[in-house]
Structure 1
């Protein structure tokens, strides 16, 4: 995903520092000294490990495009349960709950078209801006202290973060839950290269070639570097003197891949630049774009001028590599594609949905009533005592923090809004849930 460079550094100073060649397979993986999103590396790595992976992803993508009428209402709001795995080695990596909740708020705002910068879209693209009607509900925050390193290598990605036996954290029911791992993604030793995150796109398993093995379901989800989570993160990622200014949209971008979207330029162009306008992202309402934008908010940029009905590059799109501060749009076709993926390849994420009054049944926390009118009774159903509870609003702002006198049941009072309560018990178990006041 997209890093924003401090003004003292320009994108033109960023050079390619190496090109990995997998000589035995003829596969080339390209990594910049500050590569934003590991999507290309995901595709190449798993094509090498599981021949036919790229074909399966491509076939799945085309199958989704060809679904004319899913039978689902476009007004349905799909709620995806999310588990954050905070896998940390030093205290900086053990992100505070407020940062995780802030990241969740960014996801919800951007996917519901409630982002503060939504009106900064250019007029030529305004009518394409679409509410995805997809929300993200925090099911759990799992914290794992580790001695392991999570490092890019010549053979691929740091998926050991998803394996408990290798110092990581095991996925929670990946067919029903979006797992997001947060760790320190380390560059390749002596060579360098940094990615901010990566995700696995949906692959239709029925389309796999004979004798081809799908990647383990336990690998499915999103991985983020701990320094790019949330917009209130005090940790700054610096590579070769260049700072990344997080707005929490690395996660927005990677979840887009997880829900089946491609980069807006269709991964044409390559790292050495140049136009590749014949390569497309498969969306009818995104303009042709020859290459990634690359840290820019230059709204005069147009990399494909030789096509009919020409439009400038849509650098406001979350699936570009533009400055996060100017991103504010999923298009109607992109939204339709993600929703069809949820209704088909990732239907397990929404099949288990319950109504709002039951949304807190996922954890040890029971909130009654939910939704309610300002006064809520909180009941902790675990066999352990409550050590501390905290209440945050949807922006991640801490509102309440207390050690309840009654360690199993207590009341909280809030004004209208959406809130998250987190409880830490005496065993150190942390669990959260959402409640709504109207």
Structure 2
């Protein structure tokens, strides 16, 4: 269910009860869900298949409970990412208070549950879900579970929300299979929060979690939404709960238990409830007592009126936890870390990256000291393709839970081709490492050979990447791949599968072999491109996939951007110019040939590499085919004299060539051996081409004379026509 973020939002609502139309219109979930389902039968099918899975799991859990086997208590590790210009406005005490509200409300131990009417008390749920602050990071380092990022960015409550991405000013997600991520931040427009609904809104996995307005934490002055119930509501969505009125705009046909009517224990309800009513409240869908369950956390009442989940909702959350968030059941994120005395992690290979340009190199590695003691010495060993091991004896000082970069001894004798590099650490502070599973790190790189003056690649060979080419895939996720699903010519092309990329703003690089340009007069790049967007290019606030072409003449130390297109400029299919809500597999007429004149970027350069950079924003697939990189060489006689008439002799046509551009050329005339004018062309000064063709195919053989007229001279040359 592509790119639909069901904004399960709790809006800031007027305290006056029964302004139902206003409250309903202020929730985007209804409109977005309906818009999604209108996209066709496949969307409707996927939604109901997802609901049927939930219904089946709910029945299984219910039967288990009837047999006396209650669900075990599950404690979910939570990390709060505070993203604000001044994070101190959210204290640790406020975070702990929010965690306490989650625990009391989900366990059914909230004191204000006394407000539940007698008719609904049998439905009052005490779920088995508990919450604890994370005590270890995804890298198994100690943490408080409170992650602070000073930033002025605000939530955009859609795909690509900047508060969820460090490179946009926010905070990156922690492994969503092990942690409940809650971003506490500013949200404009009166929105109090939103959450990802599992298995329905197919937003990237690196945005899975809950976002709440920082003012909704318990204890603020933001009445009537300052008791922490926004967090309770949004975490309900995180566990697959829907709004209690079914988002049906008063038709009474909706349900918060689609495809599971037997499990639905919340009264039918026409619309959301605002304010803080009391007593029995009826509406068109529940016209008699006990009326609607406005006390439910999944309604839109004030915080003080939200006091319960139903038992059906409890079962639905337990089903969603089991089906869609099983990693939380066994996560060790809430288990404290005990630091060892000696534990060094080989954290990152900084260099080489994807390509080296010499037969020797010095690896650069980042190491992290995960021990309780200061690291003062370490052995670091490296080898290529299982060959000779080169060991570096490092000394220095790295404090506990700190890191440093180390340049290793040179590795020599690298031949052209693809190679595997392995680096491992040992003997921290002169003794054995107490945890060896993080000592080793691996990568691959290419030492490309130099091509000839023309590089043509259509990706027809099953070997990928082709010989001398390289791929740089920083996130080790989806990247450039060969595909036979589409091609401009032949049977294959390359693509990045942006349609299903599990993250946004990720970069993937396809790198050509080394290409010589030192003697070329001009260098050109052409390629076939096929791409569309998922969203309409006119959609506001959407970040689109981007294709950028870079050139480097120093093996990736520096780059120049020579081409960059995204959104409407990238689209190659006119019939899909307003967005295409299915996976794009181009037809033969949905490609476009793009050309780049590279010469202006190649001053004093002997070699270059071209890099195709895909920037994914979860839109649609990007394809390349028939990549041609070639040099153009000017005839040395032409370069010397500035004028060249070729071929000579000729049989049909000859060409008058100039170098550089003939800015003073006025005309060219052709005469036969008798001096008779045969053909003539005139030009406005400065408008003539550098290569002008004359076709004498119908004339007799023999000698001809070509006169070239300039503003300051006339040049005459003889030329011979043969059969």
TM-score, scaled to structure 1: 0.63
Task: From the superposition, tell whether residues 134 and 91 of structure 1 become closer, same or farther in structure 2 (CA, over 3 Å).
Answer: closer
1:69 is the counterpart of 2:60: yes
Structure 1 partner of 2:233: 253
Q: 2:270 aligns with which of 284, 287, 290?
A: 290
How far residue 262 of structure 1 moved from its aligned partner, in angstroms, is 0.7
Match of 2:149 among 144, 151, 176: 144
- Indicate if the aligned counterparts of 1:265 and 1:280 stay in contact, CA closer than 8 A: yes
Contact 2:11 2:193 in 1 (8 A): no
Corresponding residue for residue 193 of structure 2: 197
Q: 1:221–1:39: structure 2 CA closer, same or farther, 3 Å change rule?
A: farther
Following superposition of structure 1 onto structure 2, how do residues 3-402 of structure 1 map, counting pairs within 5 Å? Answer: 10=16, 32=26, 39-40=29-30, 43=33, 56-67=46-57, 68-70=59-61, 73-90=69-86, 94-139=89-134, 140-151=145-156, 156=158, 159-187=161-189, 194-203=190-199, 214-229=202-217, 231-234=218-221, 236=222, 244-269=224-249, 275-282=250-257, 283-304=263-284, 311-352=290-331, 359-361=334-336
Is contact 1:79–1:353 with CA below 8 Å preserved after alignment? no
1:186 is paired with a residue whose SS is coil
| 1:144-199 deviations in Å (ceiling 9; x for gaps) | 111333346xxx46711111111111100011211000111123xxxxxx210000
Q: Name stretches of at least 5 consecutive residues in structure 2 with no aligned partner.
A: 1-8, 135-144, 258-262, 341-369, 375-399, 401-723
Give the direction of change, closer, same or farther, for the CA distance of 1:50–1:15 in structure 2 (3 Å limit).
Answer: closer
* Preserved contact between residue 60 and residue 202 of structure 1 (Cα < 8 Å): no
Distance 1:128 1:332, change over 3 A: same
Query: What does the per-residue CA deviation read over 1:236-284, in whole Å, with 9 as the maximum and x for residues that have no partner?
Result: 3xxxxxx543110001011111101111111122xxxxx3212111152
Using the TM superposition, give the Cα deviation of residue 44 of structure 1 relative to its aligned residue in structure 2, in angstroms.
7.0
1: CA distance, partners of 2:198 / 2:54: 10
Structure 2 residue aligned with 1:431 = none
Q: Any conservation in 2 of the 1:103–1:248 contact (CA below 8 Å)? A: yes
Q: CA deviation at 1:4?
A: 7.6
Q: Secondary structure at the match of 1:150?
A: coil
* Shift in CA distance, 39/11, structure 1 to aligned 2, threshold 3 Å: same
Cα distance change, pair 157–77 in 1 and its aligned pair in 2 (3 A): same
Could you report, residue by residue, the CA deviation over 1:348-401 in whole angstroms, capped at 9, with x for unpaired residues? 1113359xxxx5325879xxxxxxxxxxxxxx97669xxxxxxxxxxxxxxxxx
| Count of residue pairs the alignment pairs up | 317
Kept in 2: contact 1:150–1:158 (CA 8 A): no
Contact 1:42 1:200 in 2 (8 A): no
Decide whether the 8 Å contact of 2:265 with 2:311 is kept in 1. yes
CA displacement at 1:311 relative to structure 2: 3.5
Cα distance in 1, alignment partners of residues 186 and 232 from structure 2:
19
CA contact (8 A) 2:36 2:43 kept: yes
Instruction: State the shift of 1:120 in Å.
Output: 1.8
Q: 1:245 to 1:261 in 2, by over 3 A?
A: closer
In structure 1, runs of 5+ residues without a counterpart are 18-29, 188-193, 206-213, 237-242, 270-274, 366-379, 385-407, 409-438
Aligned residue for 2:60, secondary structure, equals coil
Once the two structures are TM-superposed, the CA of residue 10 in structure 1 deviates from its matched residue by 3.1
Which protein has greater RCO, CA pairs closer than 8 Å, 6+ apart?
1
* TM-score, normalisation: structure 2: 0.40
Q: d(CA) in 2 for partners of 1:323 and 1:263?
A: 15
CA distance in 2, matches of 1:62, 1:280: 14
Secondary structure at 1:277 match in 2: coil
Kept in 2, the 8 Å contact 1:2–1:322? The answer is: no
The CA distance in 1 between the partners of 2:372 and 2:124, in whole Å, is 44
SS of aligned partner of 1:360? coil
For the residue of structure 1 that corresponds to 2:149, the secondary structure is strand
- CA distance change for structure 1 residues 14 and 120 in 2, over 3 Å: closer, same or farther? closer
CA contact (8 A) 2:267 2:293 kept: yes
